[in-house]
Amino acid sequence: MSKVFACFKSIGAYAPKKVLSNEDLEKMVETTDEWILQRTGIKERRLASEDELTSDLGLKAAKLAIERAGIKTDEIDAVICATLTPDFLCMPATACLIASKLGIKNVLAFDVSAACSGFVYILYLAKSLIESGLHKNILIIGAEKLSSVVDYTDRGTCILFGDGGGAAIIGTTTDKNEAIADIQISADGDYAHLLVAPRSRVTHPKDDRTLEYLQMAGNEVFKVAVKTLTNDVVEILQKNGISADEIDHFIPHQANLRIIEAVREKLNFSHEKTVLTVHKYGNTSAASIPMAMNDAYEEGRIKHGDLILLDTFGGGFTWGSALLRFGGK
Ligand code: COA
């Protein structure tokens, strides 16, 4: 029997309608469009409406991914959601809520907490579950309502984040040329204190601001992010004997244009190969990579068999990279 590989079958995403521009933020905190653009490359971000929850954002992205994969919901045998803004803190999992809204029952469904690296983490899990032979079609979702944990009086953080959802179907193939080639993920909890959102009432029972809002030491996060994202990509390319020239699309986590540019320049990726959405969505954490991938797909840039490199970094700290052929149509 031929070996079964995991295959990235489809991508889908959803961006909420409401736009929060830099000009809007100028009216809320002491900042300017010029400062935000120069330091982050962000022009605007999307905000979910009050009654739109993370599961709703994930659901819309998931429906698109399922339709594009050309499968029925009853063929899906696992649902995994990465989010740091679940509808409920811990229980029930957002993946269970999305599965229920899709009418998917009696399958594995759970959430993963790996901040902005969440999507690459769940891609790693999906690949492992499929190549172990236990599963055939896994729905993975990265969705965030970050506006629910952002302090809109803190100019150091509120300019960066936005809401959205992205999803993919990871299926099977026996053709190595359309497989997910390699994924490496890692973490270092020594940096945990530099990016927290929000603190738990279990460890911090006192009612203070840190319970409610995302807190970040921006400058320190920035430095580690550039170093880690660069090392990560160098490592996965070397390990697989692939040169940067062979990559068709470099899709990094969309946190800050300066971080992306530093990594891009170091690796010598062209502007054309680098997918950018940070200017219009800001940082949407676990949704950032699938939203960027979806944009490139809808623009007709990503085609079947293209070699894609994902690179991510987030709170924890967590990080990871993935090397894959696009197996969708
Ligand atoms: N508008 C205007 N001024 C601002 C500002 C804003 N929105 N936010 C901060 N400033 C000020 C600071 O108060 C500081 O003023 P001071 O020199 O008088 O003290 C000055 O700008 C420089 O602050 P600093 O934090 O050093 O700026 P920076 O160049 O590092 O940019 C970030 C700040 C947050 C944009 C940047 O550090 C960053 O993007 N970090 C990474 C964040 C990230 O990606 N997090 C998610 C990881 S997945």
pLDDT in tens, 91-112: 999 999 999 999 999 999 999 9
Among 171, 169, 297, 321, which Cα is nearest to 237's? 321
In the reported structure, the alpha carbon of residue 274 is separated from the centroid of ligand 1 by a whole-number distance in angstroms of 24
pLDDT tens sequence across 127-147 = 999 999 999 999 999 999 999
Q: Is the pLDDT of residue 71 over 80?
A: yes
User: Does residue 159 have its Cβ closer than 6 Å to ligand 1?
Assistant: yes
Residue 238: CB atoms within 10 A of its CB come to 10
pLDDT tens sequence across 181-196 = 999 999 999 999 999 9
Q: Whole-structure pTM over 0.75, yes or no?
A: yes
In the reported structure, the alpha carbon of residue 89 is separated from the centroid of ligand 1 by a whole-number distance in angstroms of 29
Question: Best mutation site among 27, 222, 289 for ligand 1, i.e. most ligand atoms within 8 A of its Cβ?
Answer: 222
- Residue 208: pLDDT band by 50, 70, 90 thresholds? low
Model pLDDT, residue 200: 72
Share of the chain above pLDDT 90, in %: 93
The mean pLDDT value for 212-224 works out to 92
pLDDT tens sequence across 273-299 = 999 999 999 999 999 999 999 999 999
* Nearest CA residue ID for atom 8, ligand 1: 156
CA–CA gap between residue 94 and residue 197 (Å, rounded): 17
Q: Is the pLDDT of residue 236 over 70?
A: yes
User: What secondary structure does DSSP assign to 232-274, as a single string?
Assistant: HHHHHHHHTT--GGG-SEEEE--S-HHHHHHHHHHHT--TTTB
Active site residues: 116, 253, 283
User: Does residue 116 have its Cβ closer than 6 Å to ligand 1?
Assistant: yes
CA–CA gap between residue 219 and residue 164 (Å, rounded): 25
Peptide bond into 317 cis (omega under 30): yes
Model pLDDT, residue 199: 72
Residue ranges of domains in the chain, CATH in brackets: 1-329 (3.40.47.10)
Model pLDDT, residue 209: 67
Model pLDDT, residue 290: 98
pLDDT tens sequence across 114-129 = 999 999 999 999 999 9
Model pLDDT, residue 207: 64
CA 186 to chain centre: 15
pLDDT tens sequence across 9-26 = 999 999 999 999 999 999
Q: Is the pLDDT of residue 210 over 80?
A: no
CA–CA gap between residue 33 and residue 150 (Å, rounded): 19
Share of the chain above pLDDT 70, in %: 97
